[in-house]
Chain A
Amino acid sequence: MCQACTRRNFIRVSSAAVGSLALRPFGLLPALAQSPTDYRALVCVFLYGGNDSNNTVVPMDSSFSAYTSIRGSLALTTSELTPPVTSASGPPVSFHYQLPGLASLYASKELAVVANVGPLVKPLTRALYQQPQSPIPLNLFSHSDQQLAWQTSIAQGHSPTGWAGRAADYLAQAGVNSSSFPAFFSVAGNVLEGIGTSTQPVAVSPGQSLQLTGFNSSSASQERYNALTSLVADGSGLALVQAADDALAHSLSDANALSAALAKATPLKTQFPNTSLGLGTQLQQVAQIIQVQSYLGMSRQIFFVSLGGFDTHANETATLNTLYAQLSAALAAFYNATQELGVAQNVVTFTESDFSRTFQPTTTDGSDHAWGSHHLVLGGAVQGGQIYGKFPTFQLGGPDDTDVRGRWIPTISIEQYGATLCSWFGIPASALATIFPNLAKFSTSSLGFLG
């Protein structure tokens, strides 16, 4: 379990000051000219709380008058929207005015919009939805359940593994990566999305390291370190105790590989927006890991970052202004960093979120929990500047509504979205059915946004 930390293999001596609570910076990372010949990374940006994607991207066609009248106090005016960009596959679209970086990437065809995606058990219509015993996702409109639906792709609920974790299982079984370092790397804590049946994720916080502090080369210190590592390797057999041992054992086992790789890093020129532990900081860390992927022995990696605060039941306008400004700047910086590293064609960034929000506003200038949501996919390999799927009909109680408040029934399932990403990532069609068990219920497993 813990190959790097047996008693005879004590190699790590931390130089960090004993007794310090200070965060340990990763160190300045850098510009190694690595050859990205066969490297691919997926980067999930989870927007916690349920992003009101009705105001992320707006179709600028005849539906705009319905958008304006129904959304009321939430409706963006044309001056609060970026200039419309036409697209071969759908209506011209504008982005929220605090998303200028994303609008620009859409115009330059590095960013695509996938319209009205969500958890589905099978394709659904309003009529079918309203029938008793209709096959709908478990606990619709609940934050926790719909987050898990997105992370597991299992709309019926109760999956112990995430879809990216199952993809990591495939990579491990197929021996795709040359090291045993986890393929799923979270910069935003533990998430079900990265838990596989046979593989576990690694979670590292921005600006922190997994290396333990307080050890030096004295024999007393080494003996104490050996005692610690022997214990996590032994375990006591009691199940909860074993689970606690596992977390520290994984940490110790991944720490050396990560530190050794990051020691090879050189500083990035790209400037990231550095809000405290914010999205820019997280994505900067991802870029730094991507830079040293060859030292980690990784040719396929899945990263997870997050931005919270999207549960905008009230005061939505001000909240989204702040969050979108951060989202746009962070994603644009990250894309620039992948260009700097020469891996823009090798990295695809995509959004997930609990759900979208009611088209109809609340009395408190916000919106409530809904369902289908528009998502963003970014990268050099993305067939950008296009809409994939269809915007819903902007009509309360209309053909795409579950009830009378504009909770859109998705027309694209998470499985289709995820399978399109995984196919580009290199997962063969034969393995997709294991990763996305419901995939066969939907018409296509490729939405086309990655060619």
Chain B
Amino acid sequence: MFKEGVFQGCSGSARERCCCMKSLFSLTLAGALAAQACLAQALPARAAARFLDQATWGPTPASITYLQNVGIENWLAIQFAMNRSDLPDQPILNAAGQSNNNLGPVQAAFFQNTVSGEDQLRQRVAFILSQIWVVSATSGVPNAYAYPPYWRIFRDNAFGNYRDVIQAVTLNPAMGRYLNMANNNKGNAVKGTAANENYGRELMQLFTVGLTQLNLNGSPVLDSHQNPVPTYDQSVVTNVANLLTGWTYPTAPGATPKTNNPAYYFGEMFAAASQHDTSAKTIFNNIKIPAMQTADQDLNSLLNALMQHPTMAPFISQQLIEHMVSSNPSPDYIQRVAQVFQNDGTGVAGNLQAVITAILTDPEARAGDASPNAITPAFGHLREPILFVTNVLRGLTAAVGATNAAAASAANLGENLFYAPSVFSYFSPQSRTAHGLLGPEFQIYSTQTAANRADLVNTILYGTLGGIKLDLSPYTALTGNPANLINYIASVFLHGSMSPQLETEATAAMNAASTPLAKAQAALYIVLTSAEYQIVQ
């Protein structure tokens, strides 16, 4: 049913020669690995483009050719070792001496990095982790300077260990403010107060083990009445809340440390012993935490217990798969990844580099590489707004300036970077399409945002996005031969395959336009607004 497009770059024996030639000109590790890869079978362009759609912020003609040359294994090794893009630290106060709540520069830098940065996989995984571990400026942390350090937790641990993510976020002052881990004093019988349950509850529900015990393949554990078994009950929430009492913000330079420091977002929170609840606590799976432990010891006990919880591996693995590959992974796929989460082969649990590798190289993820006909209807996922924006911009060879309208564009589609509506993020992993398939991103794909998405394509192609310059010349150069232009658009945006219907309509729109630019714009408009492009398959 699908027409295979003409792939750019090299093909057959010509490709082998060409990629090896390129490697000769490179003195980098990447070049050396590429030369090695030439000995192996070169990757078809469709396979490369699909992989890049799952692993990066969008395929480009250059990145497709590059991956074809080096192969997936080497590409992953290069990405794991690559230098890290950064988000710029922001001043605490603005020019008027007030709290600086302008996240614009951080948002703009994020889009510069994602559209143009080399460490594509690291940034992609970091963004996914930040969607699980949400800190938001909506009804949350307004201070711009809190966000770059918080973001670096995910950037720096994207290929690290999940336990380190849990620990770093738990002690991060931005999360401390957002979910009230900071200055959460122990309950006070005289005042009639209890420890704040916010962080303890969401740490379990959203960040680690979820509400329902899961089998390794993601299916719920059922009791003898066939009811799902909860992961914890209210008494566990209360106990974990007590366990996590007694932490306060880092002490600002020049200030005197207090039991309850004022908010300060550089550095880690520290324990204030007098406000830690030292009673014994029973937590999930009936694990007993002894009395009289320090706040540090209690936290360490909790991290150990979480890492040993059998539900964490499928719970987190499924979410990572949903973000990268498919909203509806098979139980077997989840199980294969969860097994790696539990044990990376060296006895280590929570190794994210191994988990990401398992997700991207799994047979189910790669099944559609050969042909779109191998893809099942529920496979893939809706491109969320931020990913949509970066994909379009990368495919159109955009140069993104230090101040740019990318974040505002995604916000108008329902995903405002660093402004998730709540700790439940922009959309829920459990959200479904109207016809019952899992489709998390559909939660923010409404009649309004669908129309806005088409309008954004219009703005990008026919107008201007502030601070962003596109290069449409590779497209306009091909308008003399409609089939070539269609094939080129398909190779960049649709993994080289376009349905006959889409090809017909894009060609009709193109043929009705007169100038080369107008032809390219019309064909791109139809493809970029198509449902076929919205769904990454």
**Interface residue ranges, A against B (CB under 8 Å):** 18-21, 48-49, 69-70, 72-73, 133, 139-145, 160, 186, 189-190, 195, 200, 202-205, 208-214, 219-220, 222-224, 226-228, 230-232, 234-248, 250-252, 254-255, 308-309, 311, 313-314, 319, 358, 360-364, 366, 368-369, 402-403, 405
CB within 8 Å of A: which B485-537 residues: 499, 501-502, 505-506, 508-509, 511-514, 518, 522, 525-526, 529-532, 534-535, 537
Contacts of B449 in A (CB 8 A): 189, 203
Nearest-Cβ distance from residue A231 to partner chain B, whole angstroms:
5
Contacts of A21 in B (CB 8 A): 405, 408-409, 412, 456, 459, 463, 465
Contacts of A144 in B (CB 8 A): 424, 428, 430
Q: Tell which of A240, A313, A366, A368 touches B439, judged by Cβ atoms closer than 8 Å.
A: A240
Evaluate contact between A213 and B455: CB separation under 8 angstroms.
yes
Is residue B46 contacting chain A, with contact meaning CB distance below 8 A? no
Q: List 16 A-B contacts (CB under 8 A).
A: A18-B463, A20-B463, A70-B192, A143-B424, A190-B444, A195-B434, A220-B512, A227-B526, A238-B377, A239-B437, A240-B377, A243-B437, A245-B531, A250-B447, A308-B422, A362-B195
Q: Select the residue from B184, B197, B537 with max chain A CB neighbours within 10 A.
A: B197
In angstroms, Cα B521 to Cα A223, docked, is 13
CB within 8 Å of A: which B168-223 residues: 179-180, 183-188, 191-198, 201, 205, 211
Contacts of A248 in B (CB 8 A): 450-451, 453-454, 529, 531
Contacts of A254 in B (CB 8 A): 447
Q: Tell which of B193, B428, B450 touches A251, judged by Cβ atoms closer than 8 Å.
A: B450
Evaluate contact between B139 and A313: CB separation under 8 angstroms.
no
Known contacts A139-B230, A224-B526, A362 near B505 by CB under 8 Å: no
Evaluate contact between B448 and A208: CB separation under 8 angstroms.
yes
Is residue B62 contacting chain A, with contact meaning CB distance below 8 A? no
Q: Tell which of B183, B408, B512 touches A223, judged by Cβ atoms closer than 8 Å.
A: B512
Is residue B446 contacting chain A, with contact meaning CB distance below 8 A? yes
Cβ proximity bits B457-471 to A, threshold 8 Å, 1 near / 0 not: 011001111000000
**Interface residue ranges, B against A (CB under 8 Å):** 138-139, 179-180, 183-188, 191-198, 201, 205, 211, 225, 230, 234-235, 237, 245, 327, 375, 377-382, 405, 408-409, 412, 414, 421-422, 424, 428, 430, 432-437, 439, 442-456, 458-459, 462-465, 499, 501-502, 505-506, 508-509, 511-514, 518, 522, 525-526, 529-532, 534-535, 537
Supplied contacts A220-B518, A239-B378, A364-B183, 7 more A-B pairs, CB within 8 Å: A49-B139, A142-B211, A190-B446, A214-B458, A220-B522, A224-B525, A239-B433
Evaluate contact between B535 and A241: CB separation under 8 angstroms.
yes
Contacts of A252 in B (CB 8 A): 451
Evaluate contact between A363 and B188: CB separation under 8 angstroms.
yes
Evaluate contact between B532 and A402: CB separation under 8 angstroms.
no
In angstroms, Cα B193 to Cα A210, docked, is 49
Known contacts A245-B531, A311-B139, A363-B194, A204 near B422 by CB under 8 Å: no
Contacts of A244 in B (CB 8 A): 382, 442, 445, 450, 531, 534-535
Evaluate contact between B192 and A19: CB separation under 8 angstroms.
no
Nearest-Cβ distance from residue B155 to partner chain A, whole angstroms:
28
Contacts of A239 in B (CB 8 A): 377-378, 433, 435, 437
Contacts of B530 in A (CB 8 A): 231
Nearest-Cβ distance from residue A327 to partner chain B, whole angstroms:
14
Contacts of A402 in B (CB 8 A): 234
Contacts of B453 in A (CB 8 A): 248
In angstroms, Cα B502 to Cα A238, docked, is 13
In angstroms, Cα B310 to Cα A243, docked, is 34
Evaluate contact between B422 and A311: CB separation under 8 angstroms.
yes
Contacts of B455 in A (CB 8 A): 212-214
**10 A-B pairs with the lowest CB-CB distances in the bound complex, closest first:** A19-B463, A214-B458, A223-B512, A239-B377, A203-B446, A227-B505, A244-B531, A309-B139, A251-B447, A313-B198
Nearest B residue to A204, CB-CB: B448
Q: Tell which of B187, B432, B444 touches A363, judged by Cβ atoms closer than 8 Å.
A: B187
Q: Select the residue from A49, A247, A364 with max chain B CB neighbours within 10 A.
A: A247
Contacts of A242 in B (CB 8 A): 377, 435, 531
Contacts of B245 in A (CB 8 A): 363
Known contacts A208-B448, A234-B501, A363 near B237 by CB under 8 Å: no
Evaluate contact between B194 and A240: CB separation under 8 angstroms.
no
Evaluate contact between A243 and B435: CB separation under 8 angstroms.
yes
Q: Select the residue from B409, B424, B443, B535 with max chain A CB neighbours within 10 A.
A: B535
Contacts of A49 in B (CB 8 A): 139, 422
Nearest A residue to B432, CB-CB: A160
Evaluate contact between A220 and B514: CB separation under 8 angstroms.
yes
Evaluate contact between A133 and B225: CB separation under 8 angstroms.
yes
Evaluate contact between A251 and B532: CB separation under 8 angstroms.
no
In angstroms, Cα B237 to Cα A302, docked, is 37
Known contacts A19-B463, A224-B522, A362-B194, A247 near B445 by CB under 8 Å: yes
Contacts of A360 in B (CB 8 A): 192-194
Nearest A residue to B512, CB-CB: A223
Nearest B residue to A199, CB-CB: B434
In angstroms, Cα B198 to Cα A314, docked, is 9
Evaluate contact between A240 and B433: CB separation under 8 angstroms.
yes
Nearest B residue to A314, CB-CB: B180
Nearest-Cβ distance from residue B535 to partner chain A, whole angstroms:
5
Contacts of A403 in B (CB 8 A): 234-235
In angstroms, Cα B380 to Cα A319, docked, is 41
Nearest-Cβ distance from residue B347 to partner chain A, whole angstroms:
34
Q: Select the residue from A144, A243, A364, A369 with max chain B CB neighbours within 10 A.
A: A243
